[in-house]
Chains A and B, each alone.
Chain A
Amino acid sequence: MTPTLPSGDQASDQDNWDNGRLAHKRQLLTEIILRNRLTALVVDGDTTCRVLEQLLLHSYGVQTQGVDNGRDAIALIASGVKFNLIIIDMILSVLNGLEATRQIRDMGVHCKMLGVTACSGESERQAFLAAGVDVFIEKPLDPEHLVPILRELDGQ
């Protein structure tokens, strides 16, 4: 159940009831227990985003690694580390997300790639999909988008 701060105000009981029903509905959509050990790479130059995305994945039991630029992502993958999921931002330092995605795909990596970015325009979406991500998600990464993907990866 979504944690809510207790309120002693009787006038908010209906609000609490409505919020509780919505929370329960969201809980059904966003809870998952993974049967398999999944791993994910988070490529994001922003520390806050990267930390939160890794923590969100971790809260579902996904083991994660994080890097802050495209070049390090390529190097990590080239070293032989395998991931079930790669989450990558579009604008990165050193090697941008579009080019990093192309290079990752050119290396023969076929795992699920999510382009998670602050860009929201259709042209950005098309560019990222054309570069090779499977799904384009406007930040922030949320359970409603992530959990169905984790279910798919887990074979549920």
Chain B
Amino acid sequence: MERNPMRRQLAIMRQSLFDQGHVDEQFVQLEELQDDANPNFVEEVVTLYYRDSARIILNIEQALERKPFDFRKLDAYMHQFKGSSSSIGAKKVKAESTLFREYCKSGNGEGCMRSFHQLKKEYATLRKKLGAYFQLARQAGPVETASRPK
């Protein structure tokens, strides 16, 4: 099977993740932690993120069903979610998290609902795009990488 066309496609796909603002510089940091000993590290971390953050999303959904809103609790949930999202370089998700927290601080329930709706869209979109990217990366095979001195 031709690897170069696949690698080219992979590079284009990767670049579009940045160009479309889905991921930021932190994603590059994850890639730098990937090496021959951990060739699927980035995918594993992203999988971990989606697994753990699903619980936080559920907590927020449930909290938004209870009236009146407990903005302090909502803010605490989103604090954690924002932190882990930023750790994988999820740029748009992080931006919506920040907006949600601002609405919490100002006690704007409508704003929280709107922002959370948008956040879930970005979260799902990123998952889909990264899923496709990792699938292609696995097909393309490992790339020779320089590893940081240990």
Contact = CB atoms under 8 A, between A and B. Distances in A.
A9 B87 contact: no
A37 B96 CA distance: 40
Given A91-B76, A140-B29, A48 B48 contact: yes
B80 A91 contact: yes
B146 A118 contact: no
Contacts of B76: 91
Contacts, number: 93
A45 B81 CA distance: 11
Given A59-B33, A91-B76, A48 B87 contact: yes
A3 B34 CA distance: 9
A3 B14 CA distance: 13
Instruction: Categorize the interface residue count of chain B.
Output: 35 or more
B14 A59 contact: no
Contacts of A52: 30, 33, 45, 87-88
Contacts of A139: 82-83, 86-87
B124 interface: no
B113 interface: no
Interface residues of A, number: 35
Judged by DSSP, the binding face of A is loop
Given A48-B48, A48-B87, A3 B79 contact: no
Contacts of A47: 48, 52, 84
Contacts of A55: 33
B150 interface: yes
B47 to A, nearest CB: 10
Contact of A118 (B7, B8, B14, B83): B83
Contacts of B58: none
B125 to A, nearest CB: 19
B4 interface: yes
Top 6 nearest A-B pairs (CB, nearest first) are A118-B83, A3-B145, A5-B11, A118-B82, A48-B84, A140-B87
5 contacts: A9-B8, A59-B150, A60-B148, A118-B82, A142-B25
Interface of A: 1-3, 5-9, 31, 33, 44-49, 51-53, 55-56, 59-61, 89-91, 117-120, 139-140, 142-143
Interface of B: 4, 7-8, 10-11, 14, 25-26, 28-34, 45, 48-49, 52-53, 76, 79-80, 82-84, 86-89, 97-98, 143, 145-146, 148-150
Given A3-B34, A47-B84, A139-B86, 5 more contacts: A1-B146, A6-B7, A8-B8, A52-B30, A89-B83
